[in-house]
Every structure is written in C-alpha cells, then in structure tokens.
Chain A
Amino acid sequence: MSMQGSTVEASEQRLSVEPQTEGDIRDIVAAAVSAEEPLAIEGTGSKRGLGRPVQAARTLSLAKMSGITLYEPEELVLTAKAGTPIAEIEALVDAHGQRLEFEPMDYGPLHGLDAAQGTLGGVIACNLAGPRRLKQGAARDHVLGVRAVSGRGEIFKSGGRVVKNVTGYDLSKGLTGSYGTLAVMSEITIKVLPTCETETTLVLRGLSDAEAAGAMAASMGSPAEVSGAAHLPMYVAARVAEGALGEEAATAIRIDGFGPSVEARAAHLGRALEKVGKVDRLDREASRRLWRDVRDVRPFVDGTRKPVWRLSVTPTRGHEIVMSLRMQAAIDAFYDWQGGLVWLRMEAGEPEADLVRETIRRFGGGHATLVRAPESVRAATAVFQPQPGPLAALSRRLKEQFDPKNVLNPGRMA
C-alpha cells in the first residue's frame, strides 16, 4: 500500500547493522557505548512511526535474529528470537489449535504499510494487545521471560519458561512496553493458550455513545465472560468488515469458547440486551472479521497522516471524554475495551495534545499516546503522556541505570 503524498522520512535513511547472534548485539551496543553513538533499535521497521523520532546514526536491526527456538504446545509455552515475524509465530501456534491470547494489534495499515510485517520483539517492546486485552490481559501479562542486552552492552536474562514464577524482579515486564529504550531484547518466551472452539458477536444498532457505554458495562458485568466490547458510532461502523454492518452505529459484544457454552451465554446475554434494542448475531467468520478490523484501527486506515490518538481511560468515562472533545475540535472516534480504549482521529490535522490530555484529566484520568502523525509533528509533540515529577524521576533513573549513555532509541519515549 502506498501513502498518499508520502515522503521518505529521515528515519528511513539510516545505515543498518544486522546482528546474527546475541553476542553480535552485545558487541554492537558496546561499540555504540564507547563511541557514544546512539542506535535506533528495530525489527523490520514496521513500527517506526510509533513514538518520537529517534536521533541516531545507525539502526540496529533484529531482522536476522529470527527463529522459533522452542514450542511445547502441551506446556503452553513458546520461545523465539526477537526478530521472528509475528505472523510466523501466529501461523505455527494456529496449526496447533493455539493462539496469542493478548491478540496483538498491527499498526502497519494505520501507518500506510502492509499488514503483518512486524516481529515478536516489536510486539513486546510496544506492549501491543487487541480487543481481548479487556478480559485476558495485555502482552505484558503473557511474557514469561526474556534475554536481552542492556545499554551497558551486557547480556542478561530474566524470568523463565514457566507461568508461575516470582524469583527476582520481573524485568520481563519492565522491558515490555519500553520501546527499546532500556535494552535490546534478543529472545522472548511467551505463554500461549488454546484457541477458542468458536465465537459469536452480538450487535446492537443505533445506540448513542452513552447508551452503548451502559450496554457494554452491563455485558461485562454479566456472567457471560465477554471477550470483546466495542462501540462504532454512526458512519464509523461502515468502515469495518468491508461495510457489512452499514452506517448505523454498532455496539459489538464478543463471546467465545466451547460451542455449547458460547450458545448458552450468547442466548442468555442476548435476552438481557433485548431491553436495550434489537440484537443481531454475527457468525464466527463475520465476528472474526469485525474484531480484526477493530483491533487494527481499520476505520482510520485512510491513506492520510491525520493525527490519531490512543486513549486509555476509565471505561465508563470514554464517551464523556469524546463528547467533550467533539464540542471543541473536529474529531472522529470509536471505542474498544468497553470504552476504556478510545481511538481518536483529529480531522483538522493538528494533534491538540493539551486539549486531549486536559479533557482526559477532567473525566477520571488515564493517558493519551499519539500513535500516528508525521515525523515533524511527533518530534514537536509529547507523543507519550507527560508524567508527574516523582514518577518522571523514577522513569528517568530506570533509563539511566539500564542505558547510562543514552544509546538505545534516545528520545523515543521522551
């Protein structure tokens, strides 16, 4: 897919080094430390558009650090080198009736790139999760162990290959979501789980955002074990599942599991939701298509670079934030995670970071990340939520401990 009016960004012109072993990574980082020459850390570069642009002379690419080194389906565990394509991992576990429970999302299409180009290392470094995060946790909840090279040029490991492990600090969680700024992960062990036998999605039509918030909260608070709750306002709904839903607002509730169980839960919850409005049912294939599109922010895959925000907020307050923002700026929005994950597109092209963050603060708190914008905008905007003094100090000290010379992705999370 090509990007309308795209230009080659500065970050795409760096020279790249491609280590083939963990020892190579250590040597490259050690050389960067002694020369005080920062490195941009990448897998395939599919998430280059996330975070603040990195000022680095060279790119350390993990593309050659690829391969699944251990997969024991009966032990629910998989180990792979950081540069292993996530698509390769998902295909292998799928062939064994398993999946990555956190349903990792793919930013590629939103950034005007092809889908399914990312690596395991990238997914973990950015802590990417999808709709199922609401019930089953994020990537950070499924990482069991890592091997990595810190910004000191030292190889270390943390965690293990078993689920229950409280031996020492959980550095695996510390590295998850650290965008390559603390260490270069070389190998990652994750938990995998059985794929659901089947799934269905209940769809309510024509609800306002506030009504949808109520219906989603009621569904999540029922014993139906809902594994996805999203609301696509009017017009947004037309941009998923190849338009199959039409333009009317759609509130989607996913139920998955064993056949008889899904049937019983869907019937029970469906009856309860009849009070709100007519309930449609999507079959397994239609349900999968819908949630894949919600996961990958398909409604905003538009060939532009209009700013897109990702808001993590108190689920029942999401619609209040959007309502308030609508009165002050031209925005388009939809909701995942029962309303706790808001995707926001700024129609006028300005990110309006202060407005977005102040509105979140007024409605229960949370945080906002600018997940799409041209490099120049990301360089001039606080892409990640600014932190209060003591917390910012802790984060800075952690970075200094792991990367004292600031050679790993400098500025990316600043």
Chain B
Amino acid sequence: MSVMMPKPSEAILSRRRAIVEALRAIVPGEGVVDAANEMAVFESDGLTAYRQLPLVVVLPSTVDQVAAVLKYCHREEIPVVPRGSGTSLSGGALPLEDGVLLVLSKFNRVLEIDYDNRCAVVQPGVTNLGITHAVAGRGFYYAPDPSSQIACSIGGNVAENSGGVHCLKYGLTANNVLGIEFVTIEGEVVRLGGMHLDAEGYDLLGLMTGSEGLLGVVTEVTVRILQKPETARAVLIGFPTSEEAGAAVAAIIAKGIIPGGMEMMDRPAILAAEDFVHAGYPTDVEALLIVELDGPGAEVDHLLAEVEAVGSANGAVTCRVSQSEEERASFWAGRKAAFPAVGRISPDYYCMDGTIPRKELPKVLAGMKSLSDKYGLRVANVFHAGDGNLHPLILYDANEEGQLHRAEEFGNDILRLCVEVGGVLTGEHGVGVEKRDLMPEMFDETDMKHQQRVKCAFDDKHLLNPGKVFPQLHRCAELGRMHVHKGQVAFPDLPRF
C-alpha cells in the first residue's frame, strides 16, 4: 500500500475484545463479524490495490441499530467506515485497522413506490438497477446508471454522487435524489427533503450527496423515477482523428441536441473492445463516437438525421445507425466491455477519471501520448464525450518491478493535466484514498479548509471515514481560529456605527 492512512490507535486496538462485545449487545447474532477469515471479503472495495482488515464488521438491520452503533462509536471515539456494496473505484470504503466497518447491505428493501409523484423510497442497500427493476413494470426507471449499476447500492451512489453514461441529459445522483434520512455520528436521525421538490433551509442534501461517507450514514433514500423513453436508437460514427470527433461533439451540442448518451473511444480502446466482443466497430479509425438519442419516435428520427449530417460535415468516414434494439445493444456492448477488454490485452490496468472542458480533448490526448512515451506504459481512452469525463486506462503489469508505481505516477500526471486545462480530478469515481493527495492540485489551503468546516459541522471528532478525501484533516479547534489583519482593510474610512 503506497498511501498513508491515519496511524491506528493503540488504545482502540487493545480494547478490541470489549468493543466487539459492546457492538454484539447492539446488533445481535451474525450482525457482528470479527473473525479474520470472515472479514477478508471486506478488506478492499473496487480499488483492489489497497487492502486492510477492519477492527470489526457490523451489519445492522434497523435504523435504531445504526444510531446505537454510531452513538457508541462517538462516545468511545472509534472511527467508522460506512460501506454499501463496496464497488467504489477510489477506495472510499477501504477499512481502517482501528475502525468499525459499518455495512448497510441488510437495508435492501424498496419501501414505497409512488407513481403519481414519480418517486421511490428505498433503503440504502438496494442496488441502483434494483430500483429500476422495481418500477419497470409500469414503464418507469431510475436514470443515473453507473457502470456498476447491477451491484452498486443507492446509498453508495448518494455518498459518491455517482454519474453514468446518461447523466449529460438526465443528471447525476444529486439531481435525482429528492430526500434522504441519515444518522449523524452522534446517533441522531435527520431527514432532509422528501417527496416535495425542494428541501428547506441550507442545502444539506446537496452537501451530503458526494460527501464520501464523511458526514453521516444514509439509511433511506427518496429518488425521482422517470417514464422510460418511448424509443432509443444509437449511431456509430468513425473519424480519422480525435480532433474531428471532438468537433462533431461540439457541433451536435451547438445544434441544440442533448443526446441521451455520447461516448468516444480512441483507437487502442476500439481495437481491444472489437477483439473482445465483436461489436462491429470500424478498426481503421482513430476515434469512434457512439451517440444515443432517446425520446418519442418522431424526435429520435428527426435528430438522428441531424447527427448523421453533423458527422459527415466533420469528416466522418463511417456511420451506422442501429436498425433494431439488438443492434443498439451490440453498439453498447463494445463500450461497456471496454474495461474487461483492456484487461485481456494487459495483465493489469489502472482506470482514471478526470473531467476536462470538451474542447481541450485534443490537447489532453496529445499530452497523454507523450506521458505514455515518458513512462513506457500504454494507455487506452474511453470518454463520456458529452460531459468531458475522461477514463484513461493505463496498462501495466504488477508483477514487473516498479510498474505499479509508474502507472500511479502516470495517472497522477494525467489528472494534473486535466486540472491544468480547466478540468477536475474526478468526474464520478470520487476522491477516496486514491486522489486524496492530489487535492492540492485543484484546491488551495483556504479552499480545503472551507470544505473541512462542513466536516466540522457534521463530525467534529473526525470519526466518520477518516483518511479519505482530505490529505490532512485539521483539528476543528484549529480551523476555528480567525485571522483578521487589522489595519489592512481597504476601506479604513468607512463610517462605523
């Protein structure tokens, strides 16, 4: 593990037996797991490069139990790491040696579906796709669709503000959640929002969404559900250069078209995917766009024609419109299999997640090429082209001495490049432990102190998920100091009352 985590507390480690007993008194039976072999399954999340056994695993099944566990941990000053399905790609659910791993997987029920108000109330352990399955019978679905949607939990989606292929048109998790119930580290149950559209007071719902388990433990989620679009069709457009593909993306948006999905792949990604799933991708192009249009049939037909025209006007050399639902699925099969496809051509790969202003794509791809030469590692790119979210896949071999380290350095340089062109460190995977130490690339110390002040308002003892997101957590008392430089004000002559 090359990331520094907070030093475990000897005092907590030495009390482990008593802590386990106290937790058993709150969550009976199999809800507390302390045997190393049984905890092994929880030692990492989707970012498997980092592993750590927790102090103990607790799987509560009621909100009262969650509240009692948190209250106990708060009183005893024991760190708590919340976990949903453990699919995070940034180490958000990485356990701590001296921390309780609070697993919400037993909260797996859909509580209420209200079609007239188009929302569903679910427990946090329900999977993203599980929500869609629960409402599909009436022609509804839940829009955000992270690629892990078959496994990832809605509670985890709230923690990470998850996106997906369709978020250009339908928004991220934050735009599709109407309300939550969560438990504070003190064990207080708080409800934000509900079936009404705006939560009152400060937008704590907006702050909680994407807070990576550092502010509270979500125990219920109310999401917006949407009527499934009448039709969806996709078009595959191949370009000789990524510049031309990028220009086509800009031209589509300039026409006022917001596609349901708009993905780009570069040549190494195209070749890997085609070799793996035989999606029928053209293999002689440098960039491939998949544009999906959804909505009423009349609209989709109308816009497909416009998108095809934009493609040819921008130098497209191939263009294929899906003629059936089966063919549409095959267009996506290649894109969706891009990660495992790259896994076949390299022993290991490292997936990055920066976002850039779209127009900077050619510059960033060129920069990546020279970094690839510098580090001696290959890179394949898949790109949510509509919203500028880039997923470079760095190919390496962990068994080769030093390659993992080089891959990480390469990845860090890519993210620095994203920030340099006006973008950000992470579009949808979260900061977690993975990008924690890169935060200063994007935020100065005052920026980060203001973020930490939110943390202090929710969890002033820093017990929830410590070691994630912030490279250094300042003590709240220290953050509380005011620095006012008297005599340096700009308006010394202003009247005072």
Contact = CB atoms under 8 A, between A and B. Distances in A.
Interface of A: 15, 17, 19, 23-24, 27-28, 30-31, 33-35, 37, 57-58, 72-77, 97, 127, 133-134, 137-138, 140-141, 150, 152-158, 160-171, 173-174, 176-178, 182, 193-195, 197, 217, 220-223, 225, 257-261, 263-265, 268, 312-316, 337-338, 340-341, 364-367, 369, 384-385, 387-388, 390-391, 393-395, 397-398, 400-402, 404-405, 413
B447 A157 contact: yes
A177 B202 contact: yes
A395 B489 contact: no
A167 B200 contact: no
Contacts of B357: 72, 75, 77, 161-162
A372 to B, nearest CB: 18
Contacts of A160: 355, 422-424, 442
Contacts of B422: 160-162
Contact of A394 (B257, B439, B457): B457
Contact of B303 (A74, A258, A340, A394): A258
A154 B450 contact: yes
Given A162-B423, A340-B197, A390-B188, A397 B457 contact: yes
7 contacts: A74-B358, A141-B175, A168-B443, A340-B196, A384-B200, A391-B190, A391-B192
A77 B327 CA distance: 34
Interface residues of B, number: 106
B203 to A, nearest CB: 5
Most buried by B among A31, A77, A397: A31
B299 A257 contact: yes
B484 A167 contact: no
Contacts of B469: 168
B490 A24 contact: yes
B115 interface: yes
A24 B494 CA distance: 13
A152 B482 contact: yes
Nearest to B441: A167
B447 to A, nearest CB: 5
Contacts of A393: 188
A169 B211 contact: yes
Interface stretch (B55-63, B165-173, B262-270): B165-173
Contacts of B491: 17, 24, 27-28, 31
A23 B485 CA distance: 13
B388 interface: yes
A220 to B, nearest CB: 6
A34 B482 CA distance: 10
B309 to A, nearest CB: 14
A223 B202 contact: no
Contacts of A141: 171, 174-175
A275 to B, nearest CB: 17
Given A162-B387, A163-B388, A223-B228, A138 B197 contact: yes
B461 interface: no
B203 A75 contact: no
B79 to A, nearest CB: 19
Given A166-B427, A168-B439, A225-B296, 9 more contacts: A27-B491, A31-B491, A58-B497, A164-B355, A164-B427, A178-B203, A197-B256, A387-B201, A401-B457
Contacts of B254: 73-74
B422 to A, nearest CB: 6
B207 A166 contact: no
A395 B202 contact: yes
A405 B484 CA distance: 12
Contact of A390 (B184, B250, B483): B184
A264 B424 contact: no
Given A73-B254, A164-B384, A394-B458, A312 B200 contact: yes
B478 to A, nearest CB: 13
Contacts of A257: 295, 299
B363 interface: no
B446 interface: yes
A258 B303 CA distance: 9
Nearest to A156: B450
A137 B175 contact: yes
Contacts of A173: 174, 203, 206-207, 209
